[in-house]
Amino acid sequence: MANHPLPPIPPIEGVDLTLSVFTHRSLGFQTADDPNNSERLATLGEKVLHLAVTDHFFRKRPTLSAEQIKVEVDRVLSDENYERWVDGYGLRQQLRAIPNTNPLENPRYNSMRRQFEIKLILVMQELQSYFQSYVAAVFLYSRMGTINIWVSQLIDPENPPPGPALPDYTQPPGYDSNAPPAPRAAPPPLPTTPQNFAGPSGSAVPISIAAFHEYAAKHSLQVAYQAESEGQSHLPVWTVRCYVNGEEKGFGQGKNQKAAKEEAVRRAWAAVVS
């Protein structure tokens, strides 16, 4: 596999899904029954990535034998390539974790060789799962066609295999193909203090109201809101203040109460976990 420049990485659609991919379990944010649990995503992403790589070599010409395909798939999905992809896309630095617990930080050499080897194994497992969860997030919104193109470019951008790639899967019931796509969400800003999700300028962090309430319930926090509007009746400006255990933690303003509340929750979340 040539050490060629990496192709553009497909974006993740959706704030909650983005937060799940880039938040490590050390922060205690995810639960086992969360649909976007990172371990669930990694399980799906592992299969999706393996399928896309297999499809690439299945369509390669001259035709490869079954054994040759297996050899090529194993070669592409090597530890070295996982590390190259994660580092090449800058994903390692985007993982949110409590300082000194980020499993993707470069392991420190230990005087005992066995302990160092174990640390390397754990880091590689986490690294693979992290990249696989990203693949799953892309698959859930962009479908298999995007994955196939991306993976083929990862393997050999100069010589894409001939013939049609695997078709996109049919969307699940209830999906409206004519609906506009969800807005693209950038990964939450890097933490500056332990468990701090606030950006360098104190910017609010994307998080849903439901997820914030779930976090509050889990940690026995009492959440309350105060809303008021001002301005003309046809063009009001809403202000919502979010109180946690009786103390104001965030406020937001918007053209409607819902938008103001969402902004207040995002600011409160940044304050609570800092």
Question: Which residues sit opposite 227 in a β-bridge?
Answer: 240
Separation CA 9–CA 1 (nearest Å): 18
Q: What is the dihedral of CA 151, 154, 157, 162, to 10 degrees?
A: -30
Give pLDDT, residue 203: 42
Residues with Cβ within 8 Å of residue 34, at least 6 apart in sequence: 20, 40
Give pLDDT, residue 85: 95
Domain definitions of the chain by residue range: 15-155, 209-272
Check pLDDT > 60 for residue 59.
Answer: yes
Task: Tell me the average pLDDT across 215-224.
Answer: 83
Tens of pLDDT, residue by residue over 148-192, are 999 999 999 887 776 555 554 444 444 343 444 444 445 444 433
Give the CATH class of 15-155: mainly alpha
Question: Which residues sit opposite 241 in a β-bridge?
Answer: 226, 251
Task: Tell me the average pLDDT across 220-239.
Answer: 83
Which of 70, 49, 205 lies closest to 130, judged by CA?
Answer: 49
Segment among 14-23, 105-114, 134-143 with least mean pLDDT:
105-114
**What integer best gives the mean pLDDT of the chain?**
76
DSSP 164: -
Architecture per CATH, 209-272 = 2-Layer Sandwich (3.30)
Comparing 37 with 249, the larger pLDDT belongs to 249
Highest mean pLDDT among 108-122, 215-229, 238-252, 260-274: 238-252
Separation CA 62–CA 127 (nearest Å): 33
Task: Specify the pTM.
Answer: 0.56
